[in-house]
Chain A
Amino acid sequence: SQQGEEDPQALSIQEGENATMNCSYKTSINNLQWYRQNSGRGLVHLILIRSNEREKHSGRLRVTLDTSKKSSSLLITASRAADTASYFCATQGAGSYQLTFGKGTKLSVIP
């Protein structure tokens, strides 16, 4: 079953702009992860943030986590055409390695 929702479902921006995607989840978690998927291919792991962390950076990516609101956001700065993909958040509970995914945000970056 789906853990929650990503918002927005689709996002279209110009190259160079920032893209922000949000994710909500329902149950307590050990960590939350973000993945990228290009056009029906495999998932690429982007970043993992643990439940006791509030913010994490990796290159042009910034992830925040608010466990009180059960929500997370992914910010991609200075977007590139190559960032065009679907982005999924996924959660793992304590003691479980099963990933529970959201529905994803489809990002289009226009050159």
Chain B
Amino acid sequence: KAGVTQTPRYLIKTRGQQVTLSCSPISGHRSVSWYQQTPGQGLQFLFEYFSETQRNKGNFPGRFSGRQFSNSRSEMNVSTLELGDSALYLCASSATDSPYEQYFGPGTRLTVT
């Protein structure tokens, strides 16, 4: 099976712009979670989707949003980018019969200038 894929892998944006990141889970996985990794704050949970519904949300401002499509692919959007949004954004998927084990994609490196 192909692993979790994320596009794009690298992105440079200007402060104030918005960005959309995409994640395709492992085939058959219906749960997708997003995490932000920065040197200062480490790995932090953003949100989790299951069957197109947001099941859980981390402590991030409303500028961070996401959605999941009927094919389980997920997107996250960050509006009005700030310098502090520069980070590695990681997506993970899990199977319904083993929901605790998450498989991560390679991440999208976002740089905000």
Q: Is the CB of A43 within 8 A of B90?
A: yes
A85 part of interface (Cβ distance < 8 Å): no
Is the beta-carbon distance between A104 and B101 smaller than 8 angstroms?
no
**Taking the nearest CB of chain A, how far is it from the CB of B22, in angstroms?**
15
Q: What residues of chain A lie closer than 8 Å to B42, measured between beta carbons?
A: 2, 101-104
Contact mask A35-50 → B, CB, 8 Å, 1/0? Answer: 1000011111100100
Residues of A within 8 A of B58 (CB): 98
**Which residues of chain B from 17 to 52 have any CB-CB distance to chain A below 8 Å in the complex?**
31, 33, 35, 41-45, 48
Contact A98 B33 (CB under 8 A): yes
CB-based contact A45/B106 at 8 Å: no
Residues of A contacting B104 with CB < 8 Å?
35, 42-45
B107/A97 in contact, CB under 8 A:
no
| Residue A100 lies at the interface, judged by CB distance under 8 Å to chain B | yes
Given contacts A41-B107, A42-B107, contact A99 B45 (CB under 8 A): yes
Contact A42 B56 (CB under 8 A): no
- CB-CB under 8 A for A101 and B43, given A31-B100, A45-B103: yes
Closest approach, in angstroms, between the C-beta of B34 and any C-beta of chain A?
11
Residue tally, chain A, CB below 8 Å to B: 25
A-B interface pairs (CB < 8 A), number: 62
Asked if A1 is at the interface of the complex by the 8 Å CB criterion, the answer is: yes
Most buried by A among B33, B43, B56: B43
- Chain B 59-109 residues near chain A, CB threshold 8 A: 59, 88, 90, 92, 94, 99-107, 109
Interface residues of A in 56-111 (CB under 8 A from B): 88, 90, 92, 96-104
Partner of A42, one of B90, B94, B100: B90
Cα of A59 to Cα of B111 in the assembled complex, Å:
38
Q: Is A40 a contact of B88 with CB atoms below 8 Å? A: yes
Residues of B within 8 A of A (CB): 4, 31, 33, 35, 41-45, 48, 55-56, 58-59, 88, 90, 92, 94, 99-107, 109
